[in-house]
Structure 1
Amino acid sequence: MRTNLKITNSLTMISEMVGDSTFQVLEFDNLQGASDVSTARDLFYMRETGMNLRQVRILLQDSSVRLQAGALSYLKGNIEMDSKMGGLIGLGKKLISGKTTGESAFKPLYSGSGEIFLEPSFGHYALIELEDDEVIVDDGFFFACEEGVKVGAASQKNISSAFLGNEGFFQTKVSGSGIVVLELPVPETEIFKCILINDTLKVDGNFAVLRTGNIEFTVEKAAKSIIGSATSGEGLVNVYRGTGEVWLMPTKDVYNKLSTWGVGALTSNKGSSNTKV
């Protein structure tokens, strides 16, 4: 994966992954289009804090990619879009999957040779490559993928995770082989990618946002007894078992608190669990 390659005077490629198609994450160095003082002030503070506009670029060479509905900004070249639903059965499956996960049911396929630019945003992007594998991600994270990757729904496999895990009954399952673009709420550098080898990970909160498909997810008491849980002050924890990878975003809750309550919310010594009872 290449990083930090200058594309134009104001545009830098911050990451790249090459498969059948080439995926690039571009970053605008400096937005200078403000036409009023209020916008100029906002852009100044954003620039000073490192909040930059980013955009995903995909280079097709006789290849195909699937996009989240509404993700396309513009394209150039000999590229055709196919949004066929596969008949009534295919349409029904897509509608059910979209309804259960919260993702868009329709993900058009773009095929040919040329360039595709997705909608720019101030969000963050991660490029991952699957090799006959699957990952379970939080709803809204999927952004684009190669044709060999399927996007569907994964149901929680036990009652505790379905009712107590704060993840809902279904999450988004991304499986197959190829490159996937995920849109993240925090920079990838702030993600702790925890490798489990026949091991157990316990998380006090719902900031585990990705896991490989062979990781078992349950919700359990933090201590062996109800009295022990009460005295420890923790209550319930999300538990991940097996061999694979879990992505943790510990700063996600920090940003949420800053946005809602300000810095004062971070100075309290009270617990931050999202799974307390």
Structure 2
Amino acid sequence: MRTSLNITNKLTMLSEMSNDSTFQILQYDALEGGSDIDNAIKLKYMRDAGIKLKQVRIILDESSVNIGPGTLSYMKGDITISNKVGGVVGFGKKIFASKVTGEPLFKPQCEGTGEIFLEPSFGHFALIELEDEEIIVDDGLFFACEGSIEVGAARVRRISAMAFGEEGYFQTKLSGSGIVVLEIPVPEKEIFKCTLINDTLKVDGNFAILRSGEIEFTVEKSTKSIVGTATAGEGLLNVYRGTGQIWLIPTKNIYNELKTKGLEYESKPHGDIDTNV
């Protein structure tokens, strides 16, 4: 029997996905708890900019989910929390995956019937349902998943990708059937979800955050010769081949530039600022 917490009129549900468990992305319509002038000013700027607090809600129905360490906020119902190692072999795999991807060794498993609320964040979340498939994501994106999903490590196969791809030797691999929650760097509507069908995608920059497990990743020169690469000014490209999906976040670079260099930098062609002032 499911239990239910009342969602107040101060919360809006942005998205929902159900399988054995139900995952919801909730958004606080406004924060009104500023008790001093400094916080009140910050909250006003955030409201004007459309920056809103979000929270993941998971409804369990005699089911289980894995959550990231430190992400639990509160829960209600008949739910137990454990860290399942999976024997000597399972423990060894977890140590290996943790060391090579940087992901925490243990991911608490919540099992039973009830509701779980994870820590609220001003960041962004995406829900994905896997159907006997795997995806490879940037480290730090994993937030929660159904217990049927295996969280492991995927080795970058090509030497060129290891040396120049800025992805490291290993990335986080999520495989199986079930729902996954990712904490993503930009709003999901700003993600370009590129589908390849026996095709090639070349990316000038490190802003592909997810790819299907069947996609091959390499790093290649932007032209056929080293001289051509140097004169073209583009250098190396991240290259994705095969059939599957790739998530690109081109707007992330703009946010980074705005943060470090300001609006004037982005308003100039190629980011050039006239220093003769």
State whether TM-score is above 0.5. yes
Q: Does 1:267 align with 2:235?
A: no
Q: Deviations over 1:95-139 (max 9, x none)?
A: 221111011111111110000000000000000000000000000
Using the alignment, how far apart are the partners of 1:139 and 1:34 within structure 2? Answer: 34
Counterpart contact for 1:7–1:13, Cα < 8 Å: no
Tell me which amino acid in the other structure corresponds to 1:197: I
**Match of residue 108 from structure 2:** 108
Percent of aligned pairs sharing the same letter: 63
Counterpart contact for 1:135–1:175, Cα < 8 Å: yes
**Match of residue 99 from structure 1:** 99
Using the alignment, how far apart are the partners of 2:15 and 2:7 within structure 1? Answer: 12
SS in 2 for 1:38: helix
Q: Deviations over 1:41-90 (max 9, x none)?
A: 00100011110000000000011101111111110000011213234443
Instruction: For structure 2, list consecutive stretches of 5 or more residues without a partner in the other structure.
Output: 1-5, 273-277
Using the alignment, how far apart are the partners of 1:8 and 1:194 within structure 2? Answer: 37
**Match of residue 119 from structure 2:** 119
**Match of residue 80 from structure 1:** 80
Q: Deviations over 1:196-228 (max 9, x none)?
A: 000000000000110000000000000111121
Instruction: For structure 1, list consecutive stretches of 5 or more residues without a partner in the other structure.
Output: 1-5, 273-277
Q: Deviations over 1:164-196 (max 9, x none)?
A: 001111110000000000000100000000000
Counterpart contact for 2:265–2:271, Cα < 8 Å: no
Shift of 1:93: 2.0
Using the alignment, how far apart are the partners of 2:84 and 2:230 within structure 1? Answer: 54
SS in 1 for 2:100: helix
**Match of residue 3 from structure 1:** none
Using the alignment, how far apart are the partners of 1:150 and 1:208 within structure 2? Answer: 22
Tell me which amino acid in the other structure corresponds to 2:103: E
With structure 2 as the length reference, what TM-score do the two structures score?
Answer: 0.93
RMSD across aligned positions (CA): 1.5
SS in 1 for 2:270: coil
Tell me which amino acid in the other structure corresponds to 2:144: A
Using the alignment, how far apart are the partners of 1:271 and 1:67 within structure 2? Answer: 40
Shift of 1:271: 7.7
Pairs within 5 Å for 1:227-246:
227-246=227-246
Using the alignment, how far apart are the partners of 2:62 and 2:207 within structure 1? Answer: 38
Q: Deviations over 1:124-156 (max 9, x none)?
A: 000000000000000000000011101111110
SS in 1 for 2:178: strand
Counterpart contact for 1:193–1:245, Cα < 8 Å: yes
Counterpart contact for 2:67–2:107, Cα < 8 Å: yes
SS in 2 for 1:270: helix
Using the alignment, how far apart are the partners of 2:177 and 2:195 within structure 1? Answer: 20
